[in-house]
Structure 1
Amino acid sequence: MSVRAAPEAPSTHKGRATRDRIVAAAAELMYRHGVAGTSTPAVRNAAGVSSSQIYHYFTDKDDLTRAVIAFQTETILSNQAPLLATLDSVEALRSWRDVVVDAARRQNGAGGCPLGSLSSELSDDHRWARDALAAGFAAWSEAIRAGLDAMVDNGILRPETDVTALSFALLAAVQGGLVLAQAQHNTEALEAALDVAIAHILNHAAPA
C-alpha cells in the first residue's frame, strides 16, 4: 500500500486560516470527547470544511492529532506566558497559582488539562504521541524553571536551589491537582497541591 507524502504547510493566508480552523475544531472535540471519540466527519462539521480539505492538510488522523498536541501546548504556554515570564517573586508565583486555579474553577474542575487528557489516552500505545506530549510538558516545565531561575538571580531563592526539580514538582502538582479536580468537580485538591509545592519552594528562600 502506498504511503501519502506529508502535506506541505499552507503558503497562503487563506490556507493557513483553514488549517488553523481545522486544528482548533479538532482540539476542542478531542478535549471534550477524546481522540477515539472524535471522528473526521465531526471535525469537518465543526470546522465548516470538507473532508478533502482535512486530508489536503493532514495525512491522517494521527497527523491531525500531532497538530492538536502542538496547538494545545502553544495555547497553554501563550495563556500563561505573561506570568511565567515574570515568575521572579513570591507574589508572581502565587499569582500564577491563582490563574491556574481560577481556570479550573470556572469549569468546576471539569475537563482536566488538555495535554494531560491526551497523555492519558495516547501515551501508552502511541510512541509518536508520547514523544510529542513529552516535548510539550518539557516546554511547560522549562518555562516554569526559567521563572524560578529568575528568583535565584534576584536573590529570592538560594543559589544552590535545584530549580529543575522544583519546576517538575510544580508541574506535577498542576497535573495531579487537575486530575482530582476533574474527578471531584472542585479545585480543593489542586489548590492544596500547589500551595504545598509553593511552600516547599519557599523553604529554599535566601536569608533576609
Structure 2
Amino acid sequence: MTTTDSHNGRRLTARGAKTRAKIVAGAADLMFIQGVGGTTLDDVIAASGVSKSQLYHHFAGKDALVRAVIDHVGEFVIGRERDALGHVSTIAGLRRWRDALVQNNALRHGAYGCSLGALASEVSDNDDLARQTLSQLFGEWQGLLAGVLHRLQDSGALSPEAPIDQLATGLLGALQGGYMLAQTARDVTPMATSIDMALTHIESLSAH
C-alpha cells in the first residue's frame, strides 16, 4: 500500500510514510518546546531516531520540514477544536470550551503558548507558503467559532444584528493574546481574563 506526500507528490510506501510521520512528530514536539529557530535538523534526527539520509529523503531542508510540522500541528489543533466546538450552541457551552483550554494550559503554567500561534509568530514573516497555510488554519478555527455564534443566533440567544464574523475574530484574538500573556507571565490568569472579556461582550448582545 502506498500514500502520497502532500508537499512533493512523491509516493510513499507504508514504511516510508511511517518514517516520515515519525520525523514530523519528533520535529513538532521539539519545535513546540525549543521553537523553530532553536531546533536544528540534527536535533530532529536524534529525537526521531532516523538517519540523516532518511530525513533528507523526505525533506529537502528545514523549510520543508517546518511546513510539514504546520500541517501536523494544524490537523491536531483544528481536529481538537472541531470536536470541542462542533455541537456547542449555548454561552454555557462556550464557557466550558474556555475552561478546558485554560485548564489544559494551566498544567504547564502557560509555558510555550498555543502550538499553532507559536509557529505563526516564528515563520509567518519568513516563509510565505507557511504563512498562507497558517492563515487558512486560523480561518478554519475562526469559522468554527462563527458556527457556534450562528447557532446561538438561530436559537434566539444572540441578537439577529450581532456581527458574527467580527465577534468570532475578536474571540479568537482574545484567545491567542491570552496564550501569549499567559506564556510571559507563567500564569493562565491573563488568558482566562482575555477570553472572559470576549465572552462577556458576546453575552451582552443577547436577544433577550
Instruction: Verify the 8 A CA contact 2:152 2:158 in the aligned structure 1.
Output: yes
Instruction: Tell me the residue number matched to 1:176.
Output: 177
Percent identity at matched positions?
A: 38
Instruction: Tell me the residue number matched to 2:3.
Output: none
Instruction: Tell me the residue number matched to 2:131.
Output: 130
In structure 2, C-alpha distance between the alignment counterparts of 1:26 and 1:20, rounded to whole Å: 10
Gaps of 5+ in 2: 1-6
Structure 1 residue 68: Cα displacement: 0.8
Instruction: Tell me the residue number matched to 2:203.
Output: 202
Letter in 2 for 1:59: A
Structure 1 residue 86: Cα displacement: 1.4
Provide the TM-score with structure 1 as the length reference. 0.91
Letter in 1 for 2:70: I
In structure 2, C-alpha distance between the alignment counterparts of 1:27 and 1:9, rounded to whole Å: 21
In structure 1, C-alpha distance between the alignment counterparts of 2:54 and 2:103, rounded to whole Å: 37
Instruction: Verify the 8 A CA contact 1:83 1:95 in the aligned structure 2.
Output: no
In structure 2, C-alpha distance between the alignment counterparts of 1:195 and 1:9, rounded to whole Å: 46
Residue 160 of structure 1 aligns to a residue in which SS? Answer: coil
In structure 2, C-alpha distance between the alignment counterparts of 1:67 and 1:163, rounded to whole Å: 32
In structure 2, C-alpha distance between the alignment counterparts of 1:103 and 1:76, rounded to whole Å: 13
Residue 11 of structure 1 aligns to a residue in which SS? Answer: strand
Residue 116 (1) aligns with residue 117 (2): yes
Letter in 2 for 1:148: L
Residue 161 of structure 2 aligns to a residue in which SS? Answer: coil
In structure 2, C-alpha distance between the alignment counterparts of 1:134 and 1:7, rounded to whole Å: 21
Provide the TM-score with structure 2 as the length reference. 0.91
Aligned residue pairs total 202
Structure 1 residue 206: Cα displacement: 1.6
Structure 1 residue 189: Cα displacement: 0.6
Instruction: Verify the 8 A CA contact 2:25 2:69 in the aligned structure 1.
Output: yes
Instruction: Tell me the residue number matched to 2:23.
Output: 22
Structure 1 residue 9: Cα displacement: 4.6
Instruction: Tell me the residue number matched to 1:107.
Output: 108
* Alignment RMSD (CA, Å): 1.5
